[in-house]
Amino acid sequence: MEGVEAVLLDLSGVLYVGDAPLPGAREALGRLRAAGLPVRYVTNTSRSTRADVAARLARMGFAVDEAEIFTAPRAALARIRARGLRPFLLIHPGLRPEFAGVPTEPPDAVFVGDAGEAFTYAALNRAFRLLVDGAPLIAVGRNRYFREPDGLSLDAGPFVAALEHAAGVEAEIVGKPAPAFFHAACADLGVAPARCLMIGDDVEADVLGALGAGLQALLVRTGKCRPGDEGRLPPGTPVADDLAAAVELALAAGSGP
Amino acid sequence: MEGVEAVLLDLSGVLYVGDAPLPGAREALGRLRAAGLPVRYVTNTSRSTRADVAARLARMGFAVDEAEIFTAPRAALARIRARGLRPFLLIHPGLRPEFAGVPTEPPDAVFVGDAGEAFTYAALNRAFRLLVDGAPLIAVGRNRYFREPDGLSLDAGPFVAALEHAAGVEAEIVGKPAPAFFHAACADLGVAPARCLMIGDDVEADVLGALGAGLQALLVRTGKCRPGDEGRLPPGTPVADDLAAAVELALAAGSGP
């Protein structure tokens, strides 16, 4: 790391797990702010609206402006509106308000978020039949799982893989690791990607994604991070035990060239 | 094709769709028998027991001996017993009787069939957590979809792909296109694989699978077969409009060297 002028943070597994802030996370965020390093939040989370994400952060003691949060569903919404698509929404009930007002009938596209229990055979089959008929497949990400208080749970990625395998298509990923998603947050910060540091607990979406988009990246060992994950990183990729340790490294790197 | 001495038949999409025999299928099977060509049935179907498959064929007017039917779930059962595994069964309720008596608690393996509506998020998540803990993943096949009277429907393959993606593992496939599955049927016929002709409507599982196992193979345009499927076949692979036309070709080839 060197010359870090801004930080992008993943949410679940970095700031909190379930409804509990991770130890030291609030203080670490305070240190970033006190040091004058601007922050944006980039998340593929898709079980609730961006407003709900902000409210949940506030309840856990993280004072975050909703406009600083970049969510994959909002990126999907922008893309769907720009192309005038009418998506079949394979999403969590908690995300439905985000798509209020988007025409959906008759569907000519499929959008997949982390639908959780709404991933029923019937819903997946309906999506599959639309894809076979040529509808584009838009998805929040390929995230494999996330950490819940009682263990790891399936994220949207496995179901995206299922639909891709079934219909012989490739999904358009709108969230991490899509470069455009990272770049939108960097542009909002007004900082070149090479001067932005992505901090996350997901090797593929956060770390490899950010590196592929020209950002710097750091893996934290909290959240879904498991033994063996570090072996999948390019040599030299920084790793920290938690957000507090990551912030120390970032602030030290901020004084670089 | 040349020197065909025995025939392996897929079931759904070749003999019937839903509960209806395909036109001419019964007569075509009769012609095979009249010509003295022995037949075995090889299916990845996993929504019912082998006994139920045989009974269903009988109801549709196909007189087939249950012992001539090779099903992927029976192959799985043999493997699970041989290894003394206690599988978490992600299967259709109609298949449960096939696994009666197999110990399942505490689970140390995952077996996936075409569970249909039983593919719930909760069940998939339970399977995923077992895989993360090191349990082997055994699956009937990678079949993407099958034809139902109202359209194409998701088979087991997409859900196998989902679990593989989630847990970063590779499934052991016990049904088609696993060479051992084809070879068991050939051995039962007492005919060398190179002299056996596989007839099916699935490019990957039936045709490419059989060719990979050293059999001859033919694609029928009934069932799930869709425009474009033929383009995925190796050059020279025979294709027929239906089973009747396929049998004509097989009988002609039987007189070869």
What does the pLDDT look like over A129-167, one tens digit per residue?
999 999 999 999 999 998 888 999 999 999 999 999 999
Asked if residue B196 and residue B154 are part of one domain, the reply reads: no
Asked if residue A82 and residue A136 are part of one domain, the reply reads: yes
Residue A257: asked if its preceding bond is cis (omega within 30°), the reply is no
Residue A13 lies in a domain: yes
**Which of B119, B125, B151 has its CB closest to that of A121?**
B119
Q: What is the pLDDT of residues B243-256, one digit of tens each?
A: 999 999 999 887 55
**Which of B125, B152, B162 has its CB closest to that of A132?**
B152
Could you give the CA distance from residue A28 to residue A39 in angstroms, rounded to a whole number? 12
Asked if residue A188 and residue A156 are part of one domain, the reply reads: no
Let me know: does A41 contact A64? Beta carbons within 8 Å.
Answer: yes
**Which of B115, B120, B161 has its CB closest to that of A162?**
B161
Residue type present at position A102? V
Task: Show residues of chain B in contact with A129, CB under 8 Å.
Answer: 151-152
Quote the pTM value.
0.91
On the question of pLDDT at A255 being above 90, the answer is no
Residue B56 lies in a domain: no
Does the CB of A128 have a partner CB in chain B at under 8 Å? yes
Residue A21 lies in a domain: yes
Residue of A109, A121, A120, A97 whose CA lies nearest to A46: A97
Q: End-to-end CA distance of chain A, in Å? A: 10
Report CB contact under 8 Å: A161, B161: yes
- Give the gap in angstroms from C-alpha B16 to the nearest C-alpha of chain A: 21
Report CB contact under 8 Å: A161, B159: no
Kindly report the CATH number assigned to the domain that includes residue B227. 3.40.50.1000
Does the CB of B170 have a partner CB in chain A at under 8 Å? no
Could you give the CA distance from residue A10 to residue A181 in angstroms, rounded to a whole number? 13
**Which of A116, A118, A165 has its CB closest to that of B157?**
A165
Q: Identify the residue among A145, A146, A204 best suited for mutation to test binding to B, counting B beta carbons within 10 A and taking the highest.
A: A145
Residue type present at position A88? F
Asked if residue B140 and residue B221 are part of one domain, the reply reads: no
Q: Identify the residue among B145, B160, B173 best suited for mutation to test binding to A, counting A beta carbons within 10 A and taking the highest.
A: B145
Asked if residue A117 and residue A130 are part of one domain, the reply reads: yes
Rounded to 5 degrees, what are φ and ψ at A160? -65, -45
Asked if residue B195 and residue B148 are part of one domain, the reply reads: no
Q: What is the pLDDT of residue B148?
A: 86
Burial class (CB in 10 A: 0-12, 13-18, 19+), B36: exposed
* A18 vs A169, higher pLDDT: A169
Q: What is the pLDDT of residues A177-227, one digit of tens each?
A: 999 999 999 999 999 999 999 999 999 999 999 999 999 999 999 998 888
On the question of pLDDT at B89 being above 80, the answer is yes
Instruction: Give residues with Cβ within 8 angstroms of B129, minimum separation 6.
Output: A151, A152
Q: What is the mean pLDDT of residues A71-76?
A: 98
Report CB contact under 8 Å: B166, A153: no
Could you give the CA distance from residue B218 to residue B30 in angstroms, rounded to a whole number? 19
- Give the gap in angstroms from C-alpha A33 to the nearest C-alpha of chain B: 36
Sheet with A137-139, strands from edge to edge, namely A87-90, A109-112, A137-139, A172-173
Does the CB of B62 have a partner CB in chain A at under 8 Å? no
Query: What domain count does chain B have?
Result: 2
Q: Where a domain ends, among A173, A188, A206?
A: A173
Report CB contact under 8 Å: A165, B145: no
Q: What is the ipTM of this complex?
A: 0.90
Residue of B94, B112, B224 whose CA lies nearest to B175: B112
Mean pLDDT value across chain B: 95
- Give the gap in angstroms from C-alpha A114 to the nearest C-alpha of chain B: 11
Asked if residue B194 and residue B168 are part of one domain, the reply reads: no
Report CB contact under 8 Å: B158, A162: yes
Residue A141 lies in a domain: yes
Asked if residue A182 and residue A242 are part of one domain, the reply reads: yes
Task: Show residues of chain A in contact with B158, CB under 8 Å.
Answer: 124, 128, 161-163, 165-166
Residues above pLDDT 70, as percent of chain B: 99
Residue A71 lies in a domain: no
Let me know: does A153 contact A188? Beta carbons within 8 Å.
Answer: no
Nearest CA in chain B to A158: B162
Q: Where a domain ends, among A154, A173, A192?
A: A173
Q: What is the pLDDT of residue A257?
A: 46
Asked if residue A180 and residue A139 are part of one domain, the reply reads: no
Asked if residue A180 and residue A169 are part of one domain, the reply reads: no
**Which of B118, B154, B167 has its CB closest to that of A166?**
B154
Residue B59 lies in a domain: no
Give the domain range for residue A101. 76-173
Residues above pLDDT 70, as percent of chain A: 99
B85: alpha, beta or left, given left = phi > 0 and alpha = psi -120 to 50?
beta
Residue A61 lies in a domain: no
Please, which pLDDT band fits residue B64 given cuts at 50, 70 and 90? very high
Give the DSSP H or E segment for B63.
none
Does the CB of B158 have a partner CB in chain A at under 8 Å? yes
Does the CB of A133 have a partner CB in chain B at under 8 Å? no
Q: Where a domain ends, among A147, A173, A199?
A: A173
- Give the gap in angstroms from C-alpha B117 to the nearest C-alpha of chain A: 5
Asked if residue A138 and residue A211 are part of one domain, the reply reads: no
Residue of B169, B137, B142 whose CA lies nearest to B154: B142
Residue B115 lies in a domain: yes
Asked if residue A144 and residue A113 are part of one domain, the reply reads: yes
Report CB contact under 8 Å: A166, B144: yes
